[in-house]
Structure 1
Amino acid sequence: MLKLFSLPALGAALGGFVGLRSGHNPYYSGPVSDHYDGVKFFNPSGQNGKGFKDLVRWRLADGKEEWPDEFPSPFRDRPPQRVEGAGLRVALVGHASFLIQTAGLNMLTDPVWSERCSPVSFAGPKRVNPPGIAFGDLPPIDAVLLTHNHYDHLDIDTLRRLVAAHPLRIVTPLGNDAILREAGIAAPIFAHDWGDRVRVSDAVHVHVEPAQHWSARGVLDRQRALWAAFVLETPAGAIYHVGDTGFGDGAQFSAIRAKHGEPLLAILPIGAFEPRWFMRDQHMNPDDAVRAFVATGARQALGHHWGTFKLTDEGIERPPEALVRALAEHGVAPERFRPLRPGEVWEAAAGA
């Protein structure tokens, strides 16, 4: 069974098959909205992922490319303690985990230092490269931004280590605060809806913005907690960070541009996209990511969500290969959209 279904995929899909029968939300209670029906959250587009039968069809199909047991990155970062003022330094830890340093603040997105992204430590997707920043080399962490509750984004073991070592606060969409508190995460947690603006410091605010995705931790809680993207309002400029999303009709990306102006930086997922019939609603492929980048008008993009955990069917180097083709097709210079490896750093040019 474990060979056929990874535990996160099986649990999540069973959540869709079983959990929607329940009229209970253990994480959140609030007013009905255009993306919350009183029990579960949903994408207004109507694209809300697949169910158990589709999961079985996917896992039994051919076309899965093997990954190597190890895919070491040539980079290793030892970040400075702080980056002050309008300076901006962004380092990929791995998968969707970034260290963002600006305005004297150190922020982590979806931090995962564990060997596996799974509800158990002995099975599930295992990392094929170590974190690009050793845990002991982290500077003081001021804030953690959690986009949603899938195991490759919300890792309780890592959060416990971080909270024990750093006096941080956590910003996350609605409902995920209950998951964190139940797990004993003893940090200030700020849970917000799409459209909310959260003060992190006098100089930095976080906007919680829509993403087309879904959520689940087990077999009865599908779509009981919200998912989101973030826009960081900083002295360096706006940073648009997406953990997971489908492209949909692209309106969510043009809406970012209309609301926040053209971001300085877009951090976009480019991996976990095959097979398209199954993944399209929840994960962008590189062509989607380039179209999203163009729609936002961002000056620079960084690609993530590839090359660390095998979650889907494509080979380990297919995302950057497909990104090269997509950039050429859309007439975007390759240096404007870099598919980062763990430990690789991007810094904003002075006066950017």
Structure 2
Amino acid sequence: MTSLRSVHRILAALCAAVLLLLSAACGTSQAADGDLRKVTFMLWWAPDTNHIGVYTARHNGYYKDAGLDVDIVAVSQAGAEQAVNSGVADFALSTLTNVSTYATKGAQIKEVMQVQQKTSAIWCSLASNTAISSPRDFDGKTFATFGSSESDAVVRRMIQEDGGTGDFDKVTAGTSTFQALSSGRADFGGFYSTWEGVQAQLNGPELNCFTEPDYGVPGNADSIGIITSDRLIKEDPDLVKSFVQATQRGYEYAYEHSDEAADILVAEAPEANLDPTLVRESMKTIIEGQYWGDRQQIIDGTATLGAIDYDGTQEYFDFLAQSDAYEDANGTVVHTAPRSRDLATDEFLGES
């Protein structure tokens, strides 16, 4: 699923252009003011709780402990995945699904830590739209989309699983799916329960939402985590290990100390003008839903935060391939699903 974009993302990308050029020039060379290694991490979109472990790791000194000076930069217009593939950024937030899509087109990138362990995508209409009471009612309606074949495949499967035909119209969501629905340009769209879903609960509008697992979409679609390039893994595995394990500590801290981590995110990303209540409630939703795994087991050290869900992601890749959602660099549909074990690795994680 393609996340809700905002005007902030576009503006932030422009503001980050100079930083990105400097990062490309400096690469991962030694910082001039000491022994810390300069590393660039790129956001996936505007700062939110999916990124919180990176901000926490930097604020708490985990990166410094690992010998790293991490520069967090706004997403480029080419996208975080392409920035990592081209070497403009060393690391970024993404999903294993996105890695599979870019790899099918020839990118050489890998997920090295999977934070989110289950799907948080929700497909919603306004509660005031009484014509929609279940996914089959999406038939013949207008979908506010960011244009991905993946989203089309998911919506179609949910409709068909609910007894509909899977036929719907589409309109570009623009900067806000909320706005597309409220203006009447679209009847339904996609959100994340851990962010936009919380936002709607706090501030409206009231939504009527449906989840993918309840309507026949298999596997883990939202395998959000940390990506890097195959090149960096090959050339400097120690750097990758240092960054991944420090980041892992950041997410573990956030999972155990959610309110403190929320306050860190708000303070460390002032340009996002985040609502502290929204950030805290988002973390509460993540914890209650155990989206990052069994929280108590992670705190106890009997489970590892960041482990790759190879089987769940492969199940989802197989579904996408069967739905003709993969294309190569030439735009030709690819019917063979990518292999999750070729596109992700657990080898750089630390033990909890």
* Same-fold status (TM-score > 0.5): no
TM superposition score normalised by structure 2: 0.27
TM superposition score normalised by structure 1: 0.27
More helix, by proportion: 2
**Higher relative contact order (Cα pairs below 8 Å, separated by 6+ residues):** 2
